[in-house]
Amino acid sequence: MRDRTILLAAPAALLVAALFIYPFAYGLLLSFEPPKGDWLANYTQFFSSDRLWPTIGITLKLAIPATLINVGFALPIAYRMRFPSRSQKSLTTILVVPITLGTVLIAEGMLTYFGPRGWLAQFLQLVHLYDGPIRLTHNYWGVLISLVISGFPFAFLLILSYVTGIDPVLARAAATLGAGPWAQFRHIYFPLLLPGLAMCFCLAFVQAFSVFPSAVLVGAPAGPTRVISIAAYEAAFELYDYSLASAVAMIMGFVQLAIVAAVLGARRLVYRGPVTGGKG
């Protein structure tokens, strides 16, 4: 009897192929069929236009610091909370809230709270921490803050799930051999965490690189935070040039892929060897 169980996966596979793979392939082809000019016209336009080309730099200038902050703070805090406890449970629950609410709500909250007349500005002026005008919205800082608010909890939860997957017996064995807290982290946890950290860095970066609603709502979408997704959106829905929009989307995907490949490649160079001791 032929096994027909595999066919159960067919409807789902067809749907994802039709709604994910096909649009990507279609977009790639469409990007080489500009309304006028030769087949590379969209790409030459992107790299020569001072409206389009700088968006890559602007986006990287937001995404790289945001990713470094998020992963850099999430690692020590998640490591500190690696043992099951009440505070671990309540912190994970609290940090799920900003992720669930999403960037649009965070943007509205930021406009109210971080705005020039918000509580934060009033507090900073009250304690004379900073007396100049406080501008944390509608500029670069607004978008960076919103990327940290949504990205830090994500990085924390991800790294926590990796850290808790490492058997604490390994570190205890090292401790009986005389390893202090730093040596335990440096020589036991860190090498085992590295694959997870690299993955977390990639996911956090890709998310930050595709920032869209907060760049519009709490940024300055005409200038300093005109990120690449805004350029793609404008090409598609304001100029109705789907060919150019597809080209921008492909470039966006390519930059993400390049950074991910670089990070995962660098990880191979830094550490080679068994990474067992994870969740198994």
Partner 1 sequence: MSLAVRAWRALLAGLITLFVLNIGLMIAAVVTHSFARRWLGTWLPDGYTTAWYVAAWKEFQLDAVLWVTVEVVGAVVVLSILLGVPAAYALARREFIGKRALMLLFLLPLLVPPITYGIPLATVMYQVQLAGTLWGVILANLVPALPFVILVMTPFIEQIDPNLESAARVLGANTPRVFMHVLVPLLAPGILAASLLVLVRTIAMFELTFLTSGPDSQTLVVALYYAVFAAGVRAPQSVDAMAMIYMAVTLVWLLIALRFVNPTQLVSRVNEPGRR
Among residue numbers 160 through 189, which ones bind partner 1 (CB under 8 A)?
A: 160-161, 181
Q: How far is the CB of 50 from partner 1 (least distance, A)?
A: 22
Q: Which of 1, 12, 129, 270 binds partner 1 (CB under 8 A)?
A: 12
**118 closest CA partner among 145, 97, 98, 94:** 145
Q: How far is the CB of 188 from partner 1 (least distance, A)?
A: 17
The residue range among 39-47, 56-64, 131-139, 191-199 that interacts with partner 1, by the rule CB under 8 A, is: 191-199
Q: Which of 217, 219, 224, 226 binds partner 1 (CB under 8 A)?
A: 217
Tell me which amino acid residue 74 is: A
Interface with partner 1, residue 48, by CB under 8 A: no
Count residues near partner 1 (CB under 8 A). Answer: 89
Interface with partner 1, residue 265, by CB under 8 A: no
Q: Which of 59, 67, 207, 225 binds partner 1 (CB under 8 A)?
A: 207
Q: How far is the CB of 179 from partner 1 (least distance, A)?
A: 14
Nearer to partner 1, 17 or 262 (CB): 17
**Binding to partner 1, residues 83-142 (CB under 8 A):** 91-114, 117-120, 122
The residue range among 39-47, 56-64, 169-177, 246-254 that interacts with partner 1, by the rule CB under 8 A, is: 246-254
Interface with partner 1, residue 71, by CB under 8 A: no
The residue range among 56-64, 135-143, 166-174, 213-221 that interacts with partner 1, by the rule CB under 8 A, is: 213-221
- The three-state DSSP-derived secondary structure of the chain is CCCCHHHHHHHHHHHHHHHHHHHHHHHHHHHCCCCCCCCCHHHHHHHHCCCCCHHHHHHHHHHHHHHHHHHHHHHHHHHHCCCCCHHHHHHHHHHHHHHHHHHHHHHHHHHHHCCCCCHHHHHHHHCCCCCCCCCCCCCHHHHHHHHHHHHHHHHHHHHHHHHCCCCHHHHHHHHHCCCCHHHHHHHHHHHHHHHHHHHHHHHHHHHHHCCCHHHHHCCCCCCCCCCHHHHHHHHHHCCCCHHHHHHHHHHHHHHHHHHHHHHHHHHHHHCCCCCCCCCC
Q: What are phi and psi of 178, to 5 degrees?
A: 100, 10
Which residue in this structure is represented by tokens 């690449």?
Answer: 228
Q: Which of 183, 206, 220, 263 binds partner 1 (CB under 8 A)?
A: 206
Q: Which of 174, 194, 203, 263 binds partner 1 (CB under 8 A)?
A: 203
Q: Which of 60, 210, 220, 263 binds partner 1 (CB under 8 A)?
A: 210
